[in-house]
Amino acid sequence: MDKKNFHKWIAKRVIFSDGAMGTELYRRGIFLNACFDELNLTHPKMVQQIHEDYIQAGSDFIETNTYGANTFKLSKYGLADKVGQINLAGVHIAKQVAGDNIRVAGSIGPTGISRVGLDYELDEPVRHGFAEQASALKDGGVDFLILETFGNTTEILLAIKAVAAVCDLPLVAQVVMDVHSETVFGTPLEASIQKIAAEPFVDVVGLNCSIGPSDMLDALKRIREITDKPVSVQPNAGLPREVEGRLIYMSTPEYMAEYAKRFFENGAGIIGGCCGTTPEHIRQIVKAVRVMDKAMGQKSHRTVITVAAPKTSGKTQPIPFEERSKIARKLTKGEMVTSIELLPPRGLNLLDLQEKVRICADYGIDAVNIPDGPRASSRLSPMATAVKVQQAADIEAILHVCCRDKNIIGMQSDILGAEVMGVKNLLLITGDPPKLGEYPDATAVFDLDSVALARVVHNLNQGLDIAGNELGDKTSLTISVGANPVASDLDREIKRFCQKVEAGAEYAVTQPVFDPKMLFDFMDAVADCKIPIIAGIWPFTSFKNAEFMANEVPGVVVPEVLLDRMSQAKTRLEGKKIGVQIALEMIEQIADRVAGFAVSAPFGNVNIALAALGKIPLNEI
């Protein structure tokens, strides 16, 4: 791979590396005092299997088992004369399993000589050692090179010059930092990265090893402020502990995946792992981040269409907000709005849903939320469901409109159809990507995101279509959008919230709220973009349900104290009652700050939602 194609590759989307090689070999029975690089010659099948496991986990590239295959480190094992042989074997093993779609990176580590940079007589031998290894990896056919785990800035600069002298392969240069963001020689992170990034031959800068995900996230944020080059992050799976004579890394795959999402949100171009990171860690990282990559489009193939703001005039003034629906009227008056979320059925039978809708109306609920393909599932048309909801009882529907499944033309058609069918309330969302759901091979569209879609509906309310042409009539739809008060990248969420308001959003509905303080902090942060905020409420039904919300639902944070409370439930009924009680307490704590509540009916149990709103007693759930 030449540098031009490498840059195109890494610019398209986030790239996933593999995880640890050394600790995987150790985990599979190789002693710590063995020469891991020699295993390319003595145990090639074991090395090959590790490569295959990472590919199956979703790695976009694998690193050759050549981290210590330089003349200085191999000499300790009497193998200095086998530098070329070991490196070529490492490339051969990796390329055997990589195929056409997986890239192979040649791994080069430091010499292990602490005096590099202090003893100038060492410079030339060290430079020659790196050149020798880089030449062998190039001859073997690697796609690019990775200099990794360098704690001495002077040494990695020597390595960069050595590599540049013998090949023109793309180069990733990674250093290792301690928890104080300093090298082993005390060089601050920023100073080290600036020197490395200033080298024209370096294509990607980054960090690997030594520190865990939390510290590496802090370091990533600092790096992003000092260089425009792509950044790679490969943290350890936490700090190791000795358990029965073996070193065990304690960070779980799920924990690593959560931080991988934050790496992605903060602009990492390459995400992977180092010591202690197993194929399962990489599998969870890929699963978590690929979802965000597709949904957010930060580095994805899609391009979100820009919808221009119309030139307003007296002729195109929208119908006043309070005249568009009963919900709009209540929000304008400052009256509390209540809604219950009910999913469209998977089949054709709407009788059960319509009965639940009538129950909601009897208890004075203002609206029923109708999701659009939640978690990328296939259900009855949300438009048809919304119409049937409003026909079943004197209650309004809030129709979710998702950007995933239709292009901009289809979405405008559906929005015009909602107006004609009398469905006046829309909740505009970008949507979960298909890989999250039951049809991972389905194609996502994502012509628009929720910001652009808000602009579309705002324009339609002024009588203008997506091309700025006059329709002759104008819609009278309320525009609501989603908000996530606990987003891992809160600055980005705040920025997007204000963009939605600027685009035309008139009220917002949050993700389920489990921490009042985080909600209030978010509301304070967006005070200048003031629109009514309806708080999402999810009543837990069991400890398992609470764990699922905490670990598997994007954009949701469940405090440990609530998980502890749910874990006390001894029976299924007791679990429901504790969950409803938590929801009641949440509503009471935030009621004076929000415009209403959007309560989910877990597993379609409308009585749980009604109990959470205080409409029925706990013993009726």
Q: What is the DSSP string of 431-487?
A: ---GGGSS-TTSPP--SS-HHHHHHHHHHHTTTB-TTS-B-SS----EEEEEE-TT-
User: Within a domain: residue 344?
Assistant: yes
Q: Of 246, 191, 209, which is closest to residue 107 (Cα–Cα)? A: 209
- 252: its two tokens: 């779980």
User: Within a domain: residue 455?
Assistant: yes
Burial of 184 (0-12, 13-18, 19+ CB in 10 A): middle
Where does a domain end: 248, 263, 296? 296
* Tally of domains within the chain: 2
User: Within a domain: residue 164?
Assistant: yes
Mean pLDDT of the chain, nearest integer: 90
Where does a domain end: 262, 296, 330? 296
Segments forming the whole domain that contains residue 283: 3-296
- 516: its two tokens: 């009042």
Question: Are residue 246 and residue 320 in the same domain, yes or no?
Answer: no
Question: Are residue 46 and residue 148 in the same domain, yes or no?
Answer: yes
Share in percent of the chain as helix, strand, coil (round to 5): 45, 15, 40
Question: Are residue 64 and residue 141 in the same domain, yes or no?
Answer: yes
C-alpha distances (whole Å) from 107 to each of 10, 90, 251, 621 are 18, 10, 24, 59
- Residue 578 CA to residue 542 CA, distance in Å, equals 8
- Residue 37 CA to residue 20 CA, distance in Å, equals 13
Where does a domain end: 261, 296, 331? 296
Question: Are residue 242 and residue 391 in the same domain, yes or no?
Answer: no
Question: Are residue 203 and residue 259 in the same domain, yes or no?
Answer: yes
Question: Are residue 253 and residue 353 in the same domain, yes or no?
Answer: no
User: Within a domain: residue 438?
Assistant: yes
Question: Are residue 526 and residue 439 in the same domain, yes or no?
Answer: yes
Question: Are residue 148 and residue 103 in the same domain, yes or no?
Answer: yes
Higher pLDDT, 252 or 440: 252
The domain spanning residue 402 has which CATH number? 3.20.20.220
Predicted confidence (pLDDT) per residue in 106-124, tens digit: 999 999 887 776 667 788 9
Q: What is the pTM of this model?
A: 0.56
Q: What pLDDT shows up at residue 541?
A: 94
- 81: its two tokens: 């004369």
C-alpha distances (whole Å) from 64 to each of 73, 192, 241, 270 are 16, 26, 27, 17
Predicted confidence (pLDDT) per residue in 323-368, tens digit: 999 999 999 999 999 999 999 998 899 999 999 999 999 999 999 9
- Residue 240 CA to residue 251 CA, distance in Å, equals 9
Predicted confidence (pLDDT) per residue in 555-590, tens digit: 788 999 999 999 999 999 999 999 999 999 999 999
Question: Are residue 387 and residue 466 in the same domain, yes or no?
Answer: yes
β-strands 171-175, 144-150: how paired?
A: parallel
User: Within a domain: residue 129?
Assistant: yes
User: Within a domain: residue 493?
Assistant: yes
User: Within a domain: residue 585?
Assistant: no
The domain spanning residue 7 has which CATH number? 3.20.20.330
For the chain, what percent of residues have pLDDT higher than 70? 90
- Residue 101 CA to residue 103 CA, distance in Å, equals 7
Question: Are residue 290 and residue 358 in the same domain, yes or no?
Answer: no
User: Within a domain: residue 21?
Assistant: yes
- 394: its two tokens: 């004197």
What backbone torsions phi and psi does residue 205 show, to the nearest 5 degrees?
-110, 155
Q: What is the DSSP string of 515-535?
A: -HHHHHHHHHHTTTS---EEE
Cα 476 vs. chain centroid, distance in angstroms? 35
**Sorting pLDDT into bands at 50, 70 and 90, what band is 300?**
very low
Question: Are residue 276 and residue 416 in the same domain, yes or no?
Answer: no
SS (H, E, C) 488-520: CCHHHHHHHHHHHHHHCCCEEEEEECCCHHHHH
**Sorting pLDDT into bands at 50, 70 and 90, what band is 245?**
low
C-alpha distances (whole Å) from 75 to each of 21, 78, 144, 256 are 21, 5, 26, 36
Question: Are residue 284 and residue 371 in the same domain, yes or no?
Answer: no
pLDDT at 313 over 50: no
